[in-house]
Each structure stands twice: as C-alpha cells, then as structure tokens.
Amino acid sequence: MANLASKAAVERRAHTAINTPLIKLAKVQIIELGIKLNVDYDITHSCYNLKDDGTMCGVCDSCVLSDRGFPAHGMLDPAVLR
C-alpha cells in the first residue's frame, strides 16, 4: 500500500491517505476491540514471520504481544492453536 501511495505521489496522480486507527492501541486493547466487534480470530494472524507451513513463528514482537494479549482476555490466540 505504501509503495502505491508513493508512486501516486511522485507521479502527482492522486492524493492518498493511509489510515491507521489501531496504531496507538496496545495489543491487549486491539484484541479487546476485536472481541467487542465480534472479530473471528480463527481467520487472523499478526505474525511478521510466518513459517513456510503458514503457522506463526512465535518469536517476533507481534507473536510475543499476542501471547500476552489473548490470555489477558481469558483466551488463547486461535492462530497458535492451528
């Protein structure tokens, strides 16, 4: 997305806005918001370095934060259970 926005800006073709509504939220808050919005966490992952088989790496920052965030809400990360 950033590459497309950069290209459009350089070519002066379009005004592009990138919205990041979750950027200031902690992982625990993002998970809580997802629960309130009935997000199906079975079809999500936030891992930065997925393994070749599609499972989460378990060591990147996102995995570590998820490992803390889901238990704070009495859940295990469904992506880890896959």
What pLDDT does 60 receive?
Answer: 93
pLDDT tens digit sequence for 39-82: 999 898 889 999 999 888 989 999 998 888 889 989 888 877 66
Q: Where are the domains of the chain?
A: 22-81
Residue 79: which of 51, 38, 24 has the closest Cα?
Answer: 51
DSSP sequence for 18-76: ---TTTTS-HHHHHHHHHHTT--GGG----SS--TTS---S-SHHHHHHHHHTGGGT--
What is residue 14's three-state secondary structure? coil
Model confidence at 36, in pLDDT bands (50, 70, 90)? Answer: very high
What pLDDT does 2 receive?
Answer: 66
Residue reference for tokens 């918001």: 33
